Chain A
Amino acid sequence: MQILKNKTNIDFIGKRKPAVFISTLVNLAIIVGIATVGFNFGVDFAGGTVVELKFDHPVSAAEVRERAEKGGLHDVSVQNIGSEADNSFLLRLGGVTQLNEANAEKAKAAIQGLGNVRNVYADLANGIVNFRSATPLDVQTIKKAVEDSGTGVQEVRVLGENQGGAGVDYQVVASGMADKVYSALSAGLEKPDFEQRRVDYVGPQVGKQLRNRGVMALLYAMVAILIYVAFRFDFKFGPGALLAMLHDVIMVAGYYLVSRREFGLTAIAALLTIVGYSVNDTIVIYDRIREDMAKYKGKPLAEVINIAINDTLGRTILTSGTTALSLIGLLVFGVGEIFDFAMAMLVGIVVGTYSSVYIASPLTIWLDERAAAKDARHRGGDIKHEPKTA
C-alpha cells in the first residue's frame, strides 16, 4: 500500500511568498490577541479555586449556580463537564482567600474598633491580617468582629505576648474559597447530595511563580534546540528551524486563545512538546535537503529544496498521520485539560508539518541567496583591487 502512488512534483517553494505572508499575518493577529484579549488563565497561573462536584441526581448548571449564590458565593462560574448524565460540574472562583482590598480595609477598621490596637497590617497575598493589642483580646471577639465586616475567618492565631509588655500579637487568617463552596452548597441539606471530587487551589503568589517558570522553560528549550541545530547542520538552517518553531508555538497558543480553553500547566507542557515536535519535523526535511545538496551540486538551493520536499512528501504525511492517530484515544476519552492537550497537539502537528515546508525552508533559501549575493559583491570588490596589489 502506498499513500502517494506517483512521485509528486508540486512547486512548494514557488508559493512560499503568499504562504509566508499569510502565516505572518495570522501570527501577528494571535500575538495582538494575546496582548489585548489574553488567555483564559486557569487557576495554575491566575490563582484561584476550582472545585469539581459530582451530584447523585440530575441537576442543571443554573441550579448549581443558584444554590451557590444562595449560600453566599458570588462571582462563581459553573461549567458542565463530561456527558450530561455525569452530573459533574466545575466551579471556578476567582479569589483564593476572602480577603481582598475592599474587605481588608473594612476588616482593619473592625479590628481598630476593638480597643487599643496598633500595627494593623494586612497581607493580601497570604490572606492574613496581623495586629497588636495593648490588652489581651478574646479570640472569638476578634473572629466575630472581622466576620461581621464581611470577611470569613478560618482562625485567629495568638502569636504571643510581646516581650516588652507592649501587648499581644494576633493573626487573623481569612477563610479559603474551597471551604466556602462545600458549606455554601450543602447549606440546608441534611446530607450533601454531591461528592467533592477535586479541588485545585492556587495562591496568587504561587500562580505567578508557576507562570514565570513556564515561560522561562519555553525560552530555554528554544535556545537549547537552536544551538543543537546550528551545531548539527549548517548555520543557515538554524534560523529557519527557530522561526518554524516560533510559528508553531504561536499557532498552538492561538488555539488556546481562540478556543478560550483554560491555559494552565498542561498548556505549557503542550507548547514545549510542540517545540520538540516542530524541530523534529523540520529536521527530517532538513536532513533530506542536506543529502540532496550533495547529490545535486550546482543546482540552485530553491530547486534542491523543492525536490527534497516532494521526495519526502509521502513520509511527511505518514509520520504526522501516525502521531495524530495516537492522539485519537485521548480525544475520545480525555476530558478537561487532557482533551485540550490532545487538541493542541493535533493543531501543533498540522502546523508543524506545514511550517517545515513553508516557513523553515523559505528562510533557509533567503539566507542562502543573501549569502550568495554578498559573496558575489565581495568577489567583485576583490577584482577591482587586484591591479593595485599586483
Chain B
Amino acid sequence: MDRGWWWKFGMIVAVTLGTFWFLIPTYYSLVVMDRDQRNNLALLQERLPAWAPPAKYRLNLGLDLQGGIHMVMRVDTKTALQKRTERRGQQIATYIADKKLGEVTADTDPEKLQLTLTAKDPATMDAIEKDVLATYGDFKQVRRDGATLVLAPDESQTNRFREEAVDQAMLVIRRRIDKWGVAEVDVRKLGTDSIQISLPGRSNPEQAKELVGTTAQLEFRMVDDSNPQFFAQMFQSNPPPAGSNITLADEGGFPQLQAPTREALLDYTKGKVPENRVVLTECIANPMKKNECTSYRTFLLDKNVPLTGESLAGADASVSQMNEPEVNIAFDAAGAREFEKLTEAGVGKRMAIVLDDNVHTAPNINEKIAGGRARITMGRMGARSFNEWLGEAQTLALVLKAGALPAPVTVGEIRQVGASLGDELIKKGSLAALMGLGLVVAFMALYYRKAGLIADIALILNGLLILAGLAFFNATLTLPGIAGFVLTLGIAVDANVLINERIREELSHGKSAKAAVDQGYDRAFWTIFDAHVTALIAGFILFFTGTGPVRGFATTLIVGLLASLFTSIVVTRVIMTYFVHGKNAQSVSV
C-alpha cells in the first residue's frame, strides 16, 4: 500500500467518524427527545453531551412530516394604496384651501388609483394645477379637462409604498405570532407582495386566522406613573407563585415586572389592577435576533384610549441635526386637537404607543405640543451601533404607519398537516426508503459478489452522509425529500455498476486483476462525473426556483449527488485497491 492510499484511507475514516458525530443531534432530536419537544432547541442543547455538535445542526422535519401550518399571506397593497391616495387627496385639498388658491373636491378611483380634483370655480384651476404639481412631487398629471385635474401617483413612490405596506404587515404578523409564544416560527417575505409563515407542530387553523383577521390597532395611552412603586408593592405584598419566573426589574426609578412569557405576567397581574387601569406588556428583544423576544415587562396604563392610529396622518424616521435618530409624526386636524390636550395635561408623564396590545415604546412628554406635529427622539441605551439605533427609529415609524394606514392581508395559501398524518408519513417514508435501499443492496451483493458488497458499504455510507449533509446545511427533510433520497441512492449505485462492468470488460480483454481495477476506475471516472454534473444542474435549478417541499427534494438531490461522487468513486476504489493491490490478488471478484 503506498502513501497515497493511506492518505485516502485516513480521509475516509475521518469522514465516516465525522458523519456519525454529526448525526448525534439528529438522533437525539428524533429518537431520544419526546415527540412534542422535538422543536425545543434549548432543551436539545441541554440534553446533548458536551462533545456533540451544537443542537442547531439537527435534521429538521418538514411541516408535512411533523405536522404544522405553512401559510402564504398576500398583502392587499391595492386597497392600502387606494387609502393612501385618498389621504393624499384630502391633504392636497386642505393645502389648496389653506393657501387660498380655491376650493376643490378630491375623489379617488378605486380601480385605476387615480385622484381627481374638481375645482368649484373653474377659473382657479390653472393656478391650482401649477402649484399642486410643483408641491406634490409624488403625483403625475394624467389629464386636465377644464375644472378637473386627474393625477396618478408616481410609480417609484407607489413601489416604495407597496414595499412599506408589506413590511408593515410583516411587523404586525410577527407581533401577533409572538403573542402565542411560538419560538420556531419562520416569517419571511416572498416575492413582492407576499409573506410566508411556517408554524411547525401547530395545526390550529383558528390561530392562523387571527393573523389575518383583524387589522392592526394602534393606540396612544397614558402611562400611569402616579405610583412609581405600583409593581414593586404588588411584588412584595403578593409574591408571584414559584416557578412563574417573574422578577422585579428597576430601570430608571420605575420598577417593572419582568418574565419570559407574556401569559405569566398577564395571569399574575389579573385582578390586582385598579378599575380604570390596565396592564400591558412590552417585548424586550433579543439583541442578537431582532425579531425574537427574550422577555417581557409590564406597564400600567390608563384604560381609556384617547387617541388611536386613525387620527395619525403619517410617520417617518429621520436623523436630527444633533445626529440622533428620531421619528416625526403628524396627526390630522381632530387628532392634533386631542394630542394638544393630552400633552398639555401630561407634561412630565409618559405616553405609550401600543400596537395590537403590545407596548412598543413609552416616550416622555416634554412639553405641550400644538399643531399636530410631534417628534419622538430615540434614547440611546446600552452599547449600540448607530445603525441599530436608527433601525429602532425605523421600526417605530413602521409601527406607527401600520396603525395609521393598515394594509389589509388575505390568505394566499394554507397547507396544514395534522400531527397524526405526519407520523404516518414518516413511518411510510422510512419503510419505503429501507425497502428500496434493501433491494438495491441485495441485488448488488448477488450480482457483483465482493465488489457488490464493497459498493453496498459505500451506498450505506452515502445514505448516512446525505443525512449528515442535510443536517449541516440546516435543510429540512420533507416527504418529497425522502423520495429524492431513495432515488439518489438508486442513481448513486449506477456509478458502481459502470465501474464494475468496466472492470469485467477489462478482465475479459485478458488484463490482470490490478490493471483491470485501475483502468476500470480511470475510464469510468469521467462518465460518472459528467452524468453527476448534469443531474446536479437540474438539482440546482429546482432548488433556486422551487418552494417548500420541492426545495427539500432539491436539497436532498444535490447533497446526495455530491456524496455519491465521493462514496462511489473514492471509497469503493480504496477498498478495491486494498483487496487487489494489498493482497496482491491474482483475481478479482466482480
Contact = CB atoms under 8 A, between A and B. Distances in A.
B443 A322 contact: yes
Contact of A332 (B421, B435, B448, B538): B435
A72 to B, nearest CB: 19
Nearest to B539: A276
A266 interface: yes
A254 interface: no
B494 A171 contact: no
A326 B545 contact: no
B7 interface: no
A37 interface: no
A214 B546 CA distance: 7
Nearest to A331: B432
Contact of A197 (B74, B194, B417): B417
A273 interface: yes
Interface string B330-369: 0010000000000000000000000000000000000000
B412 A205 contact: yes
Contacts of B413: 201-203, 206
Contacts of A341: 480, 483
B48 interface: no
A217 B406 CA distance: 36
A280 interface: yes
Given A1-B447, A269-B546, A276-B539, A326 B437 contact: yes
Interface stretch (B21-29, B466-474, B525-533, B574-582): B525-533
Contacts of B546: 213, 217, 265, 268-269
Contact of B483 (A54, A291, A324, A342): A342
Contacts, number: 264
Contacts of B527: 283-284, 287-288
A121 B90 contact: no
Interface stretch (B119-127, B236-244, B297-305, B549-557): B549-557
Nearest to A204: B412
Contact of B435 (A1, A197, A324, A329): A329
A311 B538 CA distance: 29
A190 B438 CA distance: 48
B164 interface: no
Interface residues of A, number: 94
Contacts of B428: 333-335
A219 to B, nearest CB: 9
B537 interface: yes
A217 B542 contact: yes
Contacts of B483: 330, 334, 338, 341-342
A303 B416 CA distance: 58
A322 B495 CA distance: 11
A323 B86 contact: no
Interface string A227-242: 0110010000000000
A221 B440 contact: no
Contact of A162 (B79, B86, B420, B545): B86
Nearest to A51: B416
Interface string B512-543: 00000000000100110011111111110110
Contact of A159 (B108, B111, B215): B215
B110 A121 contact: yes
B545 A128 contact: no
A135 to B, nearest CB: 17
Nearest to A319: B494
A157 B531 contact: no
Which of A154, A163, A201, A337 is most buried by chain B, counting CB atoms within 10 A of its CB? A163
B213 interface: yes
A326 B435 CA distance: 8
Contacts of B412: 202-203, 205-206
Nearest to B448: A1
A25 interface: no
A161 B333 CA distance: 13
B54 interface: no
13 contacts: A123-B78, A128-B79, A158-B215, A159-B79, A163-B332, A198-B418, A225-B534, A265-B550, A279-B534, A283-B534, A325-B440, A332-B432, A338-B480
Q: Which 6 A-B pairs have the closest CB atoms?
A: A326-B490, A329-B435, A276-B538, A329-B432, A329-B436, A276-B535
Interface of B: 72, 74, 76, 78-79, 82-83, 86-87, 89-90, 93, 106, 108, 110-111, 191, 194, 205, 209, 213-215, 310, 313, 332, 406, 408, 410-418, 420-421, 428-429, 431-437, 439-440, 443-444, 446-448, 479-480, 483-484, 486-487, 489-491, 493-494, 497-498, 501, 504-505, 523, 526-527, 530-539, 541-542, 545-550, 553-554, 557
